[in-house]
Chains A and B, each alone.
Chain A
Amino acid sequence: MLFELRGVGLTRAGRAVLDGVSAGIPAGATAIVGPSGSGKSTLLRLLNRLADPDRGEVSYRGEPLAGYDPLALRRQVALVPQLPALLEGTVGSNLAYAAGLAGRELDAARCLRLAGLDPEYAGRDVAKLSVGEQQRAMLARALAQRPEVLLLDEPTSALDHAARDAIEAALAELRRELEIAVVLVTHDPAQARRLSDWVVRLEGGRVAGCGALEEVLA
């Protein structure tokens, strides 16, 4: 397994957001599904140590995450948040910033193409992009770090159908081109069926199902 969660619990403001979560996430494409408030985004944030659990343990490639340097881990396990949050400047400067943090050479045109954007977007001011374009620029920025794992938090929740289709096509394309694991949070079972082959289903902060797509979302 790529990630293993064993008895993971997290309490915020007196509420158990995650409670005794035990699940495995293999390399490949995994969807974390469940209704709003079930702890999906919180679980995703545990995977690159944007948060740590109060109880239990998360491991990555067999090693406890607590033993990883959080900065180095985040450059390998990139997270694209639900809402676009680019830095001021151009798309290209955002990509260069991310590549620089990871110590990678930047091939901006390739990253943009993989994210479904034309390379000329590199010179665009991020403030002038639509939400769908910003979301794809966020994806391109994450790819600029050449991560081993891509964590996507509801990547299409704020988008219309056309923009959603474009993002999904980009994700399918980059899965074909790159050997990259994807963990996707979605409230939409249909999207999980289109994009993943493994599913973790949460309800009320607990695991309600974990396994191959056809077993959990039959």
Chain B
Amino acid sequence: MIAPAAALSTSIHVSVGQVTASLALVALAAAISYWWKADLERDIGIAAVRSLVQLTLIGYAIKLIFEADTLWLVFVLLAVMVLFGAITARSRADKVPHAFVPLLVALALAGACTLGLVVALGIFEATPRYLVPVGGMVIGNAMTASAVALNRLGDEMHDSRPRIEATLALGATAREAAMPTVRRALRSGMITLVDSTKTTGLIFFPGTMVGMLLAGANPTDAVRLQLILLYVLLGSVSIAALVATGLAYRNFFTPAQQLREPEAGPAAS
């Protein structure tokens, strides 16, 4: 069990002035975009404003939840995150028919299984102080992984259509015909985190560790907590990508094991 006194209770005060000063780097990013005509100034502005508003609001929400110290508020917050995560991921999986439900189930299962396991294994206490930040990380990473996996699934199902239909024509089930494609999509959803986990500590310092070090925590504690979170994220990303691809591929087929027609395909001859 992570001991709060040793690992998490260290705090520093960050002033509004410091946050305002860091906006200089946002201005630099916008200037580079303008100078090189990358046409991202508006997006950078929107990103800066949205992050400010969203993080401020969620900061107040977390403060309220911590003060209330009741688990049902945590579940409501995580459920809202799952819902918005599925809506966001769906927009990146636009080639997958009816992707919303697979994404919703994937994020909910990834969150529930991962948080359930870390509590059951005694890694974290079942309190808002742990469940809110860990749940947010888990759902956020699960959303990215499942969106990448379904985006790839949509492209692969389109590109592999002749091979899948030729396999169906042999009397293979939809699952058998789609399996190589689903496998590649699953892999693409997981590979980013697997690769970044391989290089962590060598090429980049992950966010939790950086945050704890900045807050004055013992480096050993920072490293241990970061390791736990990396492993938790590996599990949640795998669950999310597996569930999302495993449910979504079925939407490409009819109950008679036929590949559904694409919405705008070439004319049949």
A41 touches B269 (CB 8 A): yes
A72 touches B268 (CB 8 A): no
C-alpha gap A41/B172 in the complex (Å):
20
Stretch of B101-109, B244-252, B254-262 that contacts chain A? B254-262
Asked if B267 is at the interface of the complex by the 8 Å CB criterion, the answer is yes
C-alpha gap A85/B171 in the complex (Å):
15
Asked if B1 is at the interface of the complex by the 8 Å CB criterion, the answer is no
Asked if B168 is at the interface of the complex by the 8 Å CB criterion, the answer is yes
Contact of A49 among B162, B163, B258, B269 (CB under 8 A): B258
**Which residues in chain A, 127-152, are within 8 Å of chain B measured between CB atoms?**
138, 141-142, 145
Asked if A38 is at the interface of the complex by the 8 Å CB criterion, the answer is yes
- Given A49-B256, A71-B173, A74-B171, A85 and B268 touching (CB < 8 A)? no
**Which residues in chain A, 70-85, are within 8 Å of chain B measured between CB atoms?**
70-75, 78-81, 83, 85
Residues of A within 8 A of B258 (CB): 49-52, 70
A141 touches B269 (CB 8 A): no
Contact of A40 among B168, B170, B257, B269 (CB under 8 A): B269
Question: Beta-carbon contacts of A54-76 to B below 8 Å, as 1s and 0s?
Answer: 00000000000000001111110
A101 touches B180 (CB 8 A): no
- Contact-residue bracket for chain A: 35 or more
Stretch of A9-17, A19-27, A115-123 that contacts chain B? A9-17
- Given A75-B170, A98-B170, A101-B172, A52 and B269 touching (CB < 8 A)? no
Nearest residue in B to A83 (C-beta to C-beta)? B162
A101 touches B261 (CB 8 A): no
Closest chain A CB from B178 CB (angstroms): 12
**Which residues in chain B, 99-120, are within 8 Å of chain A measured between CB atoms?**
none
Contact of B269 among A36, A70, A85 (CB under 8 A): A36
B162 touches A74 (CB 8 A): no
**Which residues in chain A, 97-122, are within 8 Å of chain B measured between CB atoms?**
97-98, 101-102
Nearest residue in B to A142 (C-beta to C-beta)? B170
A38 touches B269 (CB 8 A): yes
**Which residues in chain B, 199-226, are within 8 Å of chain A measured between CB atoms?**
none
C-alpha gap A51/B169 in the complex (Å):
11
A81 touches B171 (CB 8 A): no
Residues of B within 8 A of A37 (CB): 267-269
Which 5 residue pairs spanning A and B have beta carbons closest together? A85-B166, A75-B171, A74-B171, A85-B163, A79-B169
Q: Measuring CB to CB, which residues of chain A are less than 8 angstroms from any residue of chain B?
A: 12-13, 15, 17, 36-42, 48-52, 70-75, 78-81, 83, 85-88, 97-98, 101-102, 138, 141-142, 145
Can you give 29 contacting A-B residue pairs, CB < 8 Å?
A: A12-B261, A12-B265, A13-B264, A13-B265, A17-B268, A37-B268, A38-B269, A40-B269, A42-B268, A52-B258, A70-B256, A71-B171, A71-B173, A73-B171, A74-B168, A74-B169, A75-B170, A75-B171, A79-B169, A81-B162, A85-B166, A85-B167, A86-B166, A87-B163, A87-B167, A88-B180, A97-B170, A98-B170, A102-B171
